[in-house]
Amino acid sequence: MMNNNNPNKLDPQQIVAEFKEIPPMPNVMVKALSVIKNPSTGIAELAKIMQVDQAISTKTLSLVNSAFYGFRQQITSINKALVVLGMMKAKNIIMSLALKQMMTAQGSRELWEHSIKCAVAAEFLAKEFRVINPDDAFVIGFLHDIGKIGIPEHILRKPAQLCDDEWEIMKQHPTIGAEKVLQPNPNLRDLIPIVKYHHERIDGKGYPEGLKGNSIPFGSRIIAIADAFTALCEARPYRKALSEEDALKIIKEESAIKWDPDLVDVLESLMSK
């Protein structure tokens, strides 16, 4: 525990109030998010979005042309590349690279990689429940921990478990993500409640507001279990990665305590396939 009289002690609420240095959301990412949520968007419109970002265009063409290795002719048109890749995969490329650009600028490659895995898990869970669009679940999975770029680096990268005071700081990341990153972007505001409440618990002992049971947005409940399962399967400085089987066992033990029991059942069913 930190000394309460320490003048250098960080105040959790002050972290949220004073944090104004969130890097701007890449424009291509904001546009791509609106495209993902509009299934009628055509390839030509998506190509225009991709063409404004050289890194994304180059990566897309590289992925497509890798399939033509050894052939003299290569694809140079983004439109043609999108036809080869397919729309959803192309959207995922935009999301992953733009989010990586935003997060790695803060030295958070691990956060980017975790967000990708959580996005995939959330999409799978959402497909089993027709409550939220799986594509939206994928986007939210990407963005759920975006507020961690507002958490001090020494806390994010501490090679041991956090002390109580540090944990109080860490618990501000859903609020930072919702209010400092999503709120300024009109196309993302409908995601705010899901991101803000993804650490609430079924028993009401979560954060930031202690919501309980069905008062927690369903999307938040999906992200919560996708986030937890993914995190358990990843190595941490203070523990090894768990197997999927051991991670599922822990999730099941906490069913109806931390997690929506219906979602726990679906996760178990998906893993048995």
Give catalytic residues, as residue numbers: 148
Q: What's the sign of the alpha-carbon dihedral 237, 239, 245, 246?
A: negative
The CA distances from residue 8 to 11, 68, 172, in Å, are: 9, 58, 18
Q: DSSP letter string over 100-165?
A: HHHHHTTT-HHHHHHHHHHHHHHHHHHHHSTTS-HHHHHHHHHHTTGGGGGS-HHHHT-SSPPPHH
Rounded CA gap, 19 and 178, in Å?
A: 13
- Contact of 172 with 150, CB cutoff 8 Å: yes
DSSP-based three-state secondary structure for 253: helix
Rounded CA gap, 145 and 174, in Å?
A: 7
Rounded CA gap, 116 and 109, in Å?
A: 11
Look at phi and psi of residue 37 and say left if phi exceeds 0, alpha if psi is from -120 to 50, else beta. alpha
- Show the CA angle centred on residue 262, arms to residues 120 and 210, nearest 5°: 85
Helix then strand then coil, in percent of the chain rounded to 5, is 65, 0, 35
